[in-house]
């Protein structure tokens, strides 16, 4: 299986240097990955570096906890749009989801989705599945789909666990009658793991060890 166009080539480490950013951009171009996924600070640099390529720029919003106010998430999304982002991966308000305050969760997602869609950008919603029960994963995925999210996404990669086949299956089932797709991210290190997640329903993969997934020697630690 060729994974290249499924991969969001990701570098979200807080200690990522300009040299590291340049490296992932080069790797993404050379291997025709779908996006380069970075923190908002690096969006302008990545956008400029990816001009005239088939690789697009993505960044995280409300990352990694999802506990920013909706206003801050929306402003952060708009700032990233102004800097040239193509895809936005926002973190759901996990605490409100665990509290059962579904309307607040929906409104938070809706605000960022509407901001992104006004500018014709893709918006993904990170559920942080490792912190949710099966029932909460299903409910959260449906809430995100109802707000028009382009993708629901498993994980930040900064919590207790990353993507699982079971989580992806639950999300895929929850959004199966909608246009919303599923992104698996966090802890994907081998082609076998990637293939299992795709089989479970993922159509995008968030990966930092992308060169390992496509069976090339990684230059990233």
Question: Catalytic residues, which ones?
Answer: 89, 153, 183
3-state DSSP percent of the chain in helix, strand and coil, to 5: 45, 15, 35
Q: How many CB atoms lie within 10 A of CB 16?
A: 17
Residue 58: which of 15, 28, 94, 31 has the closest Cα?
A: 28
Place of tokens 């009658």: 177
Tokens, residue 124: 């993904």
Distances, alpha carbon 49 to alpha carbons 85, 188, 210, in Å: 12, 26, 19
The residue count of the chain comes to 221
Say how far apart CA 111 and CA 77 lie, in whole Å: 10
Region of 60 (left: φ > 0; alpha: ψ -120 to 50; beta: rest) is beta
Rg (C-alpha) for the chain, rounded Å, is: 16
Say how far apart CA 221 and CA 211 lie, in whole Å: 11
């Amino acid at each position: 299986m060729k994974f290249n166009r499924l991969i969001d080539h990701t570098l979200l480490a807080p200690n990522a240097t300009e040299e590291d950013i340049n490296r992932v951009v080069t790797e993404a171009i050379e291997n025709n990955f779908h996006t380069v996924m970075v923190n908002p600070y690096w969006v302008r640099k990545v956008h400029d570096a990816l001009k005239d390529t088939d690789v697009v720029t993505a960044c995280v919003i409300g990352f990694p906890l999802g506990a920013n106010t909706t206003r801050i998430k929306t402003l952060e999304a708009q700032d990233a749009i102004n800097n040239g982002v193509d895809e936005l991966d926002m973190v759901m308000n996990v605490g409100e989801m665990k509290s059962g305050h579904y309307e607040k969760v929906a409104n938070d997602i809706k605000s960022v989705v509407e901001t992104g869609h006004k500018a014709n950008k893709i918006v993904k919603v990170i559920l942080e599945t490792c912190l949710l029960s099966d029932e909460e994963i299903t409910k959260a995925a449906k809430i995100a789909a109802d707000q028009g999210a382009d993708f629901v996404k498993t994980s930040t990669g900064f919590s207790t666990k990353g993507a699982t086949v079971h989580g992806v299956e639950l999300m895929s089932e929850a959004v199966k009658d909608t246009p919303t797709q599923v992104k698996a991210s966090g802890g994907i290190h081998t082609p076998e793991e990637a293939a299992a997640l795709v089989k479970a329903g993922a159509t995008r993969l968030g990966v930092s060890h992308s060169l390992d997934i496509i069976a090339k020697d990684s230059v990233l630690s």
